[in-house]
Structures are given as C-alpha cells and as structure tokens.
Structure 1
Amino acid sequence: MEVKFIKASPTENMTLLIETPVAREKQLAVAERLIAYGSVYAEQAISRKRKILRQKNACK
C-alpha cells in the first residue's frame, strides 16, 4: 500500500500528517509501521481528518 504523508516538526515533535485515506481497521497497523524507528520515524501520526492514529509511548 502506498501512503502519502507530510512529515512536520511543529514543536520539536515529529508528526506525520497522513494524506491517503486508510480503512479504519488498518489505521493502527499503518501508523505503527510508519512511525517506527527503522521507517519514517515520528512521534505521532494524524489522519487527514486530524484524528490521532498512533502516538509513541501511548497506552495500547
């Protein structure tokens, strides 16, 4: 799956703004993969609709 996103660091916390619509049941897996240290690496991923999909160190 190709996912388009914008990587930004608004206040020294790397954030991914996900532009590609992702099915709700796949959002967590996609976000975790993108924010992983060995991938794009970020502290959080937020959907186009500005819903937080995943944050580092967040309770599961």
Structure 2
Amino acid sequence: MQMLVWSAVQSSSISIKNTVKYRIKKISELIGTDITVYSEFYDAYMACMLYRLIND
C-alpha cells in the first residue's frame, strides 16, 4: 500500500516538473527572451513589476 502511494507521489512530481519546464519554455517563446538566463529573467521580472505598479 505504501509503495503505491509513493509511486503516485513520484509520478505527480514528475508531471509538475514537466509542466513547469513547458510553461517556462512557452513564456520564453512568447516574450522572445530566454528567462532561464538570470539577467534576462531579471529584466522580464522588473518589467512585470513595473507594469503592475503603473496599472494598479
């Protein structure tokens, strides 16, 4: 029984990891920058924060 639970947890964590990787790739394609590179991620993050600050 415990082995079945562990197997379910493991497979769901793999699914979550793949979903996150897919979403990061999709966002990078949409904004035209590789957000896995820290400097480019920081620029995109700051742009989002400025947008929220201006539009709230």
TM-score range, shorter chain: under 0.3
TM-score normalised by length of structure 2: 0.25
Larger RCO (CA under 8 A, 6+ residues apart): 1
Higher Rg of the two aligned structures: 2
Higher strand share: 1
TM-score normalised by length of structure 1: 0.24
Higher helix share: 2
